Structure 1
Amino acid sequence: MTTFRLLAQTSRSARFAKVTVEVAASDRSDVEVTAAATDEHRREAELGARWALHRSPTEVRVTVTDVVTTDVDTGLGDVYEATARAVWQALSIEHPVPYVGFSDPEMIASWLKGAVGRRLDAVTEARHWSEGRREPDAASLLHAWLYFEGGMPVNLHGRGDQLLLAKEKPYRSTDLDEYGEIRVGPTRHPDVLSRFIGARLTDGAVILGHGGDTVSAGIVLRFEKGDLVIGTLGDEWVLAVGSVPSAAAHYWAVQPFVYGGGG
């Protein structure tokens, strides 16, 4: 039996979740949630355990036996991350990926609902530079962090045709020697993400891609000043103002806006 306690606090917000799991050898990987918890937290626990099992070298069965949350400090994704890290700890996986991202359309829709009505205070970007130069906008973008007022920074990860969101702070700039460098800092004009700083989110929609209804390929953020499309296709970022670009429209399906599309 292994317990992981997620506890973090910043000047913007706090995070808390404590999850206990039991892991046993099995002929196939599976997850069961027996903990007494809300349907939302039970779903997060199951999805978090399945995320963690992607790195398991053997087939195991995970049983989530206990989930502890608080009404004040537990937010979307906290049970998900605590469960994933509990499973990693139980399996003695010493070097998991540094972030725990979620791509489940229902979870991303819930995140959008929570962000609606908030102002986008800032955006931090990680970009690849070489010999003092960088490719235009989406071509040089590696990761982006969205800072909505009153909330933790949310990191956008692109992996193949899958968009993942993770609550984490930006990492530091890195020198890659002969391969250039990764510069991390505020978004700058005229890059697409810079155009929405200070705008308030009025609605949002999930974009489904090749993975069907199990993973998200992107999101549409509807601000007072227009729509921002963010997604990933073929391991390349897609950034656009207004509608989905024609190159991606064939592969993507924009779902209904979480609040009906009103602006």
Structure 2
Amino acid sequence: MGVVTTFRLRRQTSRSSRFAEVTVEVSPSSTPEVEVTTTAGANAEHRREADLGARWALRHNSPAVKVKVTVTSVVTTEIDTGTGDVYEATTHAVWQALGVEHSASYVGFSDPLMVTSWLNDIAGRQLDAVTEARYWYEGRREPDAASLLHAWLHFERAEPIGLHGRGDEFLLDREDPYLSYEMGDDGETRVGPAFPPDVLSGFVGAMLTDGAVITGSDGELTCTGLVLRFDVGDLVIGTLGDEWVLAAGPVPAAVAPCWTVHPFIRDAAR
């Protein structure tokens, strides 16, 4: 018999609500393993999120452990459970069973199906604001993509969605922006609203009408970026070789051979 634990994700703000309750059993194993056995109350999408969330928890646990994670229960609500909630609750349930707190600073997802689901949830909403984290040194910063560390998109009636780049992997997470901080002689990270002429600032106030997932050289395993179609034009944001790619308009020619742009969600729904 392994360790059985339940984690409940419950958060409510003036903009949105989140809920998911996940129970896992973690037991010794010769190799890391994940199994989702729950059927009651969990649809295929929730089961997929539970599987991916458990795998994220094991990958981002230090020191690495060889255990089997069995997801035995997933509880959701039709109104309050959104994309990423079961994923995040499962991750924290596994860490809780392992006695780990905040093994990673954020719980991000890059699975193309999950990202597509988020696009479907958010399409038709206005982008109210963009928050950026940028690297500054001696009172100066590099232009746009070169100084960008992280960004958060604030859509109406929704929690902020954080954008993280790691190598060629583009990750989304549902967390608030962090605070600015200094790094002594190594400079500082400033967190605040996006301002012109930076690319992201040009889409504040615009309506998201469509979107498409971008994958990279590993096929369709992970998302490497997005094309967000607003009523004022397209925004391309992604990561390649641990560098941000930002563009207003089509995918830049320099990165096009490395990326595959999947069908826009409105086209796929027809």
Give the corresponding residue for 1:124: 131
Q: 1:54 aligns with which of 47, 59, 66?
A: 59
Pairing of 1:4-153 with structure 2 (within 5 A):
4-36=7-39, 37-56=42-61, 57-153=64-160
Show the counterpart of 2:200. Answer: 193
CA distance in 2, matches of 1:34, 1:259: 33
Shift of 1:67: 0.6
Give distance in 2, aligned partners of 1:136 and 1:93. 38
1:163 aligns to what? Answer: 170
Find the aligned partners of 2:254 and 2:95 in 1 and give their Cα distance. Answer: 38
Deviation readout 1:153-172 (Å, 9 max, x if unpaired):
00000000000000000000
Offset at 1:210?
A: 2.2
Mapped contact 1:118–1:201 kept (Cα < 8 A) = yes
Please report the RMSD computed on the Cα atoms of aligned residues, expressed in angstroms. Answer: 1.2
- Which deviations, in whole Å up to 9, do the C-alpha atoms of 1:88-117 show, x marking residues without a partner? 111112341121000000000111111111
Cα 1:85–1:184, aligned 2, differ >3 Å: closer, same or farther?
same
**Aligned-pair CA distance for 1:193:** 0.1
What is the 5 A alignment of 1:181-260? 181-260=188-267
Which residue in the other structure is 1:176 paired with?
A: 183
Conserved 8 A contact 2:60-2:104: no
Q: Percent identity?
A: 65
SS state of the match for residue 48, structure 1?
helix
Unaligned 5+ residue runs, structure 1? none
Query: What amino acid is the match of 2:100?
Result: I
Counterpart CA distance in 2 for 1:95 and 1:214 is 25
Residue aligned with 2:266, SS: coil
3-state DSSP class of the match of 1:218?
Answer: strand
Stretches (4+) displaced over 4 A: none
- Give the letter aligned to residue 132 of structure 1: G
Report the Cα distance in structure 2 between the residues aligned to 1:93 and 1:248, rounded to whole angstroms.
39
The one-letter code of the counterpart of 1:119 is Q
CA shift, 1:261, in A, is 8.5
C-alpha distance in 2, partners of 1:83/1:7?
13
TM-score with structure 2 setting the length: 0.95
- What is the distance in 1 between the residues matched to 2:154 and 2:102? 28
TM-score of the aligned structures, taking structure 1 as reference length: 0.97
| CA-to-aligned-CA distance 1:172-219 (integer Å, 9 cap, x gap) | 000111011100000001100000011001100000012211100000
Single out whichever of 186-195 and 34-43 deviates more from structure 2.
34-43
